[in-house]
Chains A and B, each alone.
Chain A
Amino acid sequence: MAAGAVWQIIELLGEPRGIPIRYTCADVAIPKGTALQITDPRTASAQTGTADAFAGVAAFEKAVDGSLTITAYTKGIFLATSGAAVTVGARLIPATEANKVIIADAAGILKSCVGTALEATAGDAETLAIMLGGY
Chain B
Amino acid sequence: MADEAVIIELLGNGGDPVRYTCADAAIPKGTLLKITDPRTAAATAADNDPFAGIAAFEKVSGDGATTITAYTHGIFDLTDSGAGVTAGERVSIKSANKFAKVAGADQLFADVGIALETAGAGEVIAVLIGSGF
Interface SS of A by simple majority = loop
Q: How far is the CA of A135 from the CA of B110 in the complex (A)?
A: 11
A33 contacts B by Cβ under 8 Å: no
A114 contacts B by Cβ under 8 Å: yes
Q: Number of residue pairs across A and B with beta carbons under 8 Å?
A: 78
Give every chain B residue within 8 A of A114 (Cβ-Cβ). 133
Q: Among residues 60 to 101 in chain A, which have CB atoms less than 8 Å away from a CB atom of chain B?
A: 74-75
A115 contacts B by Cβ under 8 Å: yes
Q: Quick check: A113 and B101 within 8 Å, CB to CB?
A: no
Q: Among residues 33 to 64 in chain A, which have CB atoms less than 8 Å away from a CB atom of chain B?
A: 37-43, 52-55
Q: Quick check: A133 and B132 within 8 Å, CB to CB?
A: yes
Q: How far is the CA of A110 from the CA of B13 in the complex (A)?
A: 27
Q: Quick check: A110 and B102 within 8 Å, CB to CB?
A: yes
Interface SS of B by simple majority = loop
Q: Quick check: B13 and A15 within 8 Å, CB to CB?
A: yes
Q: Quick check: B132 and A39 within 8 Å, CB to CB?
A: no
Give me 16 other A-B pairs in contact (C-beta within 8 A), A19-B73, A134-B132 excluded.
A14-B11, A21-B11, A38-B114, A38-B116, A40-B87, A41-B117, A42-B87, A53-B114, A74-B131, A75-B131, A75-B132, A109-B90, A110-B102, A111-B114, A113-B133, A132-B133
A to B CB contacts below 8 Å, 23 in the list = A15-B12, A19-B11, A19-B73, A21-B9, A21-B11, A21-B128, A38-B88, A41-B117, A41-B125, A41-B126, A42-B117, A52-B88, A53-B88, A74-B11, A75-B131, A75-B132, A106-B104, A110-B89, A110-B104, A111-B114, A112-B90, A115-B132, A133-B131
